[in-house]
Each structure stands twice: as C-alpha cells, then as structure tokens.
Amino acid sequence: MSLLAVSDVSKRFGGVVALDGVTMEIKDGEILGLVGPNGSGKSTLINVLSGFYPADRGRVSFGGADATDLPAHKLAALGIARTYQIPRPFDTMTPRQNIAVSHMFGHSRHSFDGAREAAQEWLEFTGLADVADLGVGELTLHQLKFLELARALATQPSLLLLDEVLAGLNPNEIDESVEMIRRIHSQGITILIVEHVVRAVTALSDRLVVLNHGAVIAEGEPGEVMSDPAVVTAYLGDRGRSA
C-alpha cells in the first residue's frame, strides 16, 4: 500500500527545471532510497514533499488523502517529518529543548507540560543524553545529525524524509548512522532517504528511485537499479557504460 504518492510533479526555478513530471510512490513501511547525481532534483523533491515549496504542477497524496499544496506545518501535523543536510538546530536552545519543542508540534502535538520527559526518551534513543543540556554549538557534526533525527522523531511521524544524513561523516559514524536508521525503521516508521553514499543507501534501502535532470530514470530493487545502463550513464557519463 502506498503511504505517499507523487504524480506528475514539476517544479521550476526561473528557467531551471528542477523537477520534470516526477511520478513515484513510497510504500507503507519501506525504506526508499532516492539517489541521483548532483542537481538531479533530490533536494527539491524533499522540499516539495515537506511543503517547503509548492509544486508548479502535479498531485501529492499522503495516507490516501490529497496533500497537494499543503503548507509545511500541516504536512508535519499529518505525520511527515524531515531532517536537513546541513543541521539546522534552534541555536538558542539546548538539545533537550530542541527535542521538547518539536514534541509539542508535528504529529504528536503534546502540551508544554511533560515535554521535557518526552524529550528524554529521544535523547536516550539517539545517544545524546550526555550532551542534552549543553549549547548546540558544542555538539559535533555527528551529534548534530543525530539531533536532527531526534527532533524529527519527537514529532511522532509516520514518514521520515532524510536529506543526506550521512554526508560529512567518517566511516565509523556512517556505520552508526546506518544502524540508527535501521532502529528507527524497526519502530514502524517509513523512511525516504536521499543519499550520496551509494554503498550505504543500497545496503539500507528496500527499493531505489533514481532521479536525473528532475525525472525518474529508474526504480526497483537496489542491485538491479545500480547496474541499469541509464543509471550508470547518469552517474559516470557515457564512458562509464563503455568501461
């Protein structure tokens, strides 16, 4: 069953076509990998799905209901949460407060009282309990990426959009993050993961969708998709195919 369905979505910025008639779906309970070369439209798609930009054309439905052109906060309330490639914590707040505030909004919409206790759960889940009350400026990139995860989880989403959570991490940290994503998935959360690190994304994903120049050029089981000639060409150019 599809949790989120995108049909014929287009988005242009001035003369640049960022998304060109994208049709795809995210099935309930899966980890879907979204890959593609730089500038292929992956981040734009995440921004459209999370309500940051309205699409110029096309429909989006979530959980069977039409969700086209809903603003970000309404999509969050329906259960879509996202993270950012470059972490964007609320920087006057501690990690605990960052998580507490998102617990009060999103799909969970809890009241102010008790938000702190709820934050503790996600702090422990992501291993940030030791740094919970420091300023966010004191956290490492790895910790900030986990804070992004914790903050998204505290909204109690059914769909989590991960925008390059592995970028900039060392191999050890990548392994830890992959493990964390598996643990999140095992809680019953559907995941869309946009990633450059192909090794990690093929290992994690049930299915892959490949974007190039704003259009879907391949989708299916990871092993098959990554050996698809069109995908190889998109990544490596024509020489890649002949090699």
Partner 1 sequence: MTPRGRVLTGFLVAAVALFFVPALVEAADLPRFFVIFLFTAFFWIAQSSSWNVLTGFSGYFSFGQGAWYGIGVYAVAVLTGKHGWSFITALPMAGLAALVAGLGLGLVVFRLRRLTGEIFALTTLAIAFVLAALARLLPAIDGGTGVFMTGTPIPEFLGDFTTAMYRMTLVIMILTVLAAYLTYSSRLGWGLFSIRDDESVAGGLGVPVFRYKMTALGINSFFAGLMGGVWSLQLGFVTVDDVFNIRVPLFVILMSVLGGLGHWMGPVVGAVIIFTLSDRLNSAGLTDVNQIIIGSLLVVLALAVKEGVYVRMRDRWVTTLVTFFGVMAIATIFDLMGSLISDFAVAMVVTVLVLMVPDRLRERVRGGGDGPDQQEGPPVGMETVAETGQ
Q: Which residues bind partner 1 (CB under 8 A)?
A: 50-52, 71-73, 76-77, 81-82, 84, 88, 90-94, 96-97, 100-102, 104-107, 109, 111-117, 119, 133, 135, 151, 155
User: CA triplet 214, 3, 177: central angle to 5 degrees?
Assistant: 75
Contacts of 209 (CB under 8 A, 6+ apart): 24, 32, 33, 34, 35, 216, 218, 219
Minimum CB distance to partner 1, residue 155 (Å): 6
Minimum CB distance to partner 1, residue 26 (Å): 18
User: CA triplet 43, 77, 35: central angle to 5 degrees?
Assistant: 20
CA distance 103 to 23: 32
Minimum CB distance to partner 1, residue 53 (Å): 11
If the CB atoms of residues 88 and 183 are measured against partner 1, the closer one turns out to be 88
Whether 209 contacts 24, CB under 8 Å: yes
Helix 171-185 and helix 141-154: axis angle, to 10°?
Answer: 10
Minimum CB distance to partner 1, residue 163 (Å): 11
Minimum CB distance to partner 1, residue 234 (Å): 29
If the CB atoms of residues 40 and 50 are measured against partner 1, the closer one turns out to be 50
If the CB atoms of residues 135 and 220 are measured against partner 1, the closer one turns out to be 135
CA distance 42 to 234: 14
Report in angstroms the alpha-carbon separations of 96 from 102, 136, 156: 10, 10, 16
Amino acid identity of 211?
L
Minimum CB distance to partner 1, residue 116 (Å): 3
